[in-house]
Structure 1
């Protein structure tokens, strides 16, 4: 019997409806949707409230303005709105001014979920009180990327307030392109980039009017004092006015020529390659030093590690097993632990010559503390209740297609442990550890006394 045609049916008879991608269920994309002021904000709030999970708000090229922005972020900062762990918000080209920025600041204060905030091409002005409040809130958040590109009304007055108080431990990327900077902003950029408060990996400052000498000074500062930056963009920074006669030198005679700018670009590329290489070596040596410092410095006396995993319901290691391991006969080895502590640490320092004394001591403190040990458990394939760890990638080479897999990580075979595919959870934990012990970047202070 033929199926009757239904004019209100979205798909043809017998055709399975198209599945909605999982990514589109957790983010709201209303770019260029004609959202206006409070009414537009209420429409967004309604969409958020109708979903259990929202991780992204893509709201660029609308007209929310200050009034809509205040309503939206008042909801996001409420008890109901805080339940949504939003990691990215894009509000570029929304005619938002300083009142809206203050509302964003309140939401940003102490926020541990938001990682990326895009505020390009709005109507912010360099009002000192507004940006002081915004920067203070930013310092307490876990924001990693901030974009203020093409807010042309900010100018030099903005960096004069923003950079001296910027001290966010989590901020890694800042976009300040086309915001009207001139050579007057260079001293503030130089002071920030050469300070320990700068933990950036990426700085984009294109399309301003810094001028050749200011750009050259910034590059020189990065070369001498900054080892964390791996991406810097300073394109299209030609000075729009006559160069100042102060502090002129023979090396500035070629200012503005194509060859001079090309040489400057080649110089910053070499500096960034150096930073990338030193960062990689620092991370590698830090992990290597931990691997050897842990068994050498960790005292087993009075310490009993937990035998149950924190993320599964696997069985505990039987007492007979642990006692057998403890009673294993000891071989005659060099009595390393009988040496003075200073000599032990000096010997281990040769495992990580790139690290500074301060970095090595932080690793020694971490390695010698029983509180930093992970919980151990007997997680074998086939035990019920053992599930794949969140964020852990299964190793494709270990998967038996067509057969049910038992045990975690495809029967205990994790991509990270086999070094075939990067395990995201392991990679994240490694990055967090490197940051915690101050080894996320090269430390040039390799000489001098270190206070323990």
Structure 2
């Protein structure tokens, strides 16, 4: 009797463990998850929402993930919403994310976390040392203002781009903390969601005013359902308020005006971000040949054996200007001043970082001939959009044929776009800087 064919598993989902609403309970549920992880070569997503792991199961799970074996699994997304977890699990999560270079998204909605300051100070320190880009704490009703006052003043993550803080019991007392963070260079968020709290209309207006004056990185801000206004005397905001503000709920027209202002601010930030990134790339293109002096020193990769190639003859390097050109004869300060006209939107600090990057040989592309299998990682390829692939083409062949990038329009993941984004972050040009000093 022939065996029935094995069920087909999509290639993209083989690294996923999706056990949402699977009846996983406490330690036994955690052990079942650990068995599933251990039976696979790789796991990229762990979707465990709507179970009952609670603190006992959460601690067991994250102790495994923090172990030497668990660290070999490069999990990029973990979802633990609605699992009855409390601060004990949060402490175990802190140990796991500290120094973690793989995890990008962490969903912790609708659990039993409280605003204990020590717990959140430890978690924030671990978050700052991770590469998490998205953190969701939505509908953790027991957090309230005390959590925010322990969390935001210490938050200084260079990678966090999206924070979901909706329905966590925030009131107008959180206004100074929110405004201080939004107005500081520590805020690198692109998305901030604070829906379903009790901030009040005056607090929302003060936040908008802080964004207008000090923040140019936020591209999406949501503050819906915050019209449970307290008396105006309790709205302790650091920004000056308009004289026409009174206590109590605001009118519909006032909310519509605030929403219109928020849309304008987001459009402003998006435009300035695009202009900043465009000018930064343009400035690098011209600063590299003008500032990088030719050198006969050879370059060898430090992690593999490859052919030495002189940096002056490397095909990847833009041709350098003659050392005795009239431009080179000018004082350095005048050279930099002239080049600054190529990027008028950039701040002086941003231009200096690009000049420093462009004038360093250490930032040049490797000139050696690195062969696969000699200890050197193969260059990442684009991941093609299946809808754009020719009929009969298999997705396993990679998206960059003949050494040419497939491009952002025809690929789900474009490695050149990723490299540009990483470089813009390194030189601090991923958002507009209104001449702030570092």
Equivalent-residue separation in structure 2 for 1:281 and 1:322 (angstroms): 33
- Return the match for 2:184 from 170, 191, 195: 195
Give the aligned length: 423
Is 1:290 aligned with 2:281? Answer: no
Is 1:82 aligned with 2:76? Answer: no
Q: Deviations over 1:311-347 (max 9, x none)?
A: 998x887x9x9599x9x9x999962111111111111
CA contact (8 A) 2:162 2:192 kept: yes
Is 1:440 aligned with 2:434? Answer: no
Equivalent-residue separation in structure 1 for 2:86 and 2:109 (angstroms): 12
- TM-score, with normalisation over the residues of structure 1? 0.84
**Offset of residue 127 of structure 1:** 0.9
Is 1:426 aligned with 2:420? Answer: no
- TM-score, with normalisation over the residues of structure 2? 0.87
**Secondary structure at 2:175's aligned position in 1?**
helix
- Return the match for 2:245 from 243, 248, 252: 252
Task: Note closer, same or farther for the CA distance 1:340–1:312 as it changes in structure 2 (3 Å cut).
Answer: same
Task: Note closer, same or farther for the CA distance 1:28–1:350 as it changes in structure 2 (3 Å cut).
Answer: same
- Which position in structure 1 is the counterpart of 2:266? 272
Equivalent-residue separation in structure 2 for 1:100 and 1:388 (angstroms): 38
- Which position in structure 1 is the counterpart of 2:142? 153
CA contact (8 A) 1:309 1:375 kept: no
- Which position in structure 2 is the counterpart of 1:135? 124
Task: Note closer, same or farther for the CA distance 1:252–1:408 as it changes in structure 2 (3 Å cut).
Answer: closer
**Secondary structure at 2:106's aligned position in 1?**
strand
Task: Note closer, same or farther for the CA distance 1:323–1:373 as it changes in structure 2 (3 Å cut).
Answer: closer
The root-mean-square deviation of aligned C-alpha atoms, in Å, is 3.6
- Which position in structure 2 is the counterpart of 1:382? none
Q: Which runs of 5+ in 2 are unaligned?
A: 371-376
**Offset of residue 27 of structure 1:** 1.1
**Secondary structure at 2:30's aligned position in 1?**
helix
**Offset of residue 225 of structure 1:** 0.4
Equivalent-residue separation in structure 2 for 1:46 and 1:99 (angstroms): 23
Aligned pairs for 1:300-449 within 5 A: 300-305=294-299, 322=313, 335-376=326-367, 389-393=379-383, 409-416=400-407, 424-445=414-435
Q: Deviations over 1:110-133 (max 9, x none)?
A: 111111100000001111111111
- Which position in structure 1 is the counterpart of 2:82? 93
Task: Note closer, same or farther for the CA distance 1:340–1:263 as it changes in structure 2 (3 Å cut).
Answer: same
Task: Note closer, same or farther for the CA distance 1:407–1:300 as it changes in structure 2 (3 Å cut).
Answer: farther
Q: Which runs of 5+ in 1 are unaligned?
A: 12-16, 380-386
**Offset of residue 413 of structure 1:** 2.8
CA contact (8 A) 1:34 1:63 kept: yes
Mark the structure with the bigger radius of gyration. 1
